[in-house]
A and B are shown apart, each in its own frame.
Chain A
Amino acid sequence: GAVVSQHPSRVICKSGTSVKIECRSLDFQATTMFWYRQFPKQSLMLMATSNEGSKATYEQGVEKDKFLINHASLTLSTLTVTSAHPEDSSFYICSAGQGAELNTEAFFGQGTRLTVV
């Protein structure tokens, strides 16, 4: 299957700082990537849809100024958590599909464990 790589896998940052997480599609071009958040022992919740060359689409309740998304190329999307707070500590996971047609399979990155202290 397709490979999606996420970096870093773990990050610890201080409150008030910003953290950038990268999501790369390694063997295909992804016009659309997705960012999810997963709190401990809970399911994945979609945060936003990252569109190459245009603005991201955020789910209800997700602050776009706090979670900045940049999808500058067909193989890279970045999520920046700005002014991080302890409650932002979570597992962030990206996914990418191989096309915009129906029947696209979504492949996930390894996830990034963010801890804000």
Chain B
Amino acid sequence: GQQLNQSPQSMFIQEGEDVSMNCTSSSIFNTWLWYKQDPGEGPVLLIALYKAGELTSNGRLTAQFGITRKDSFLNISASIPSDVGIYFCAGQRGGADGLTFGKGTHLIIQP
């Protein structure tokens, strides 16, 4: 099945640093979603984006839906230890459609 191009694959950062990751697609999606997954658990929704160009924040997280509807980015400001985990972007074409996921970004925070 299709996967979105998500980068970087992994990030090693210091606590307090800002983080940025992005996803691109060869086709258009009408909804972009960002999830965080901890080991052995299901993904947890962080931010949902519904309109091209939309910029949405959730606490220290900010995400944008690209104008072309083929990309999205997620920023995390002032990272803390509990931010460690795997972040996935996902695209959805219609509300009744399943999600197409990126390959994930593994965030590791060094003390």
**Is chain B's binding surface mostly helix, strand, loop or mixed?**
loop
Is the beta-carbon distance between B33 and A43 smaller than 8 angstroms? no
**CB <8 Å contact, B95 and A111:** no
User: What band does the interface of chain B fall in when counting residues whose beta carbon is under 8 Å from A?
Assistant: 20 to 34
B59 contacts chain A at the CB level, 8 A cutoff: no
Residues of A79-108 whose CB lies within 8 A of B:
91, 93, 95, 97, 99-108
User: In whole Å, how far is B87's beta carbon from the nearest beta carbon of chain A?
Assistant: 11
User: B67 — which chain A residues lie within 8 A by C-beta?
Assistant: none
A67 at interface by CB-CB < 8 Å:
no
Contacts of A110 in B (CB 8 A): 41-42
Question: Which residue in chain A gives the minimum CB-CB distance to B44?
Answer: A108
B25 on interface, CB distance cutoff 8 Å? no
Main secondary structure of the interface of A (DSSP, over half): loop
Q: Given the interface contacts A43-B3, A59-B1, A110-B42, does A49 sit within 8 Å of B98 by beta carbon?
A: yes
Q: Is B56 an interface residue (CB 8 A)?
A: no
Among B35, B41, B45, B98, max chain A CB count under 10 A is at: B98
Contact of B98 with A46 in the complex, beta carbons under 8 Å: yes
- Docked pose: A93 CA to B37 CA in angstroms: 12
Q: CA separation between A6 and B42, bound complex, in Å?
A: 10
Q: How far is the CA of A4 from the CA of B42 in the complex (A)?
A: 10
**Residues of the B chain whose Cβ atoms lie less than 8 Å from the Cβ of A36:** 98-99
Q: Contact check: which of B1, B42, B45 meets A111 at CB < 8 Å?
A: B42
- Decide if B95 touches A101 in the complex (CB within 8 Å): yes
What residues make up the interface of B, taking CB atoms closer than 8 Å to A?
1, 3, 30-31, 33, 35, 40-45, 48, 50, 88, 90, 92, 94-104
Give A residues with C-beta under 8 Å from B.
1, 4, 6, 32, 34, 36, 42-46, 49, 59-61, 91, 93, 95, 97, 99-111, 113
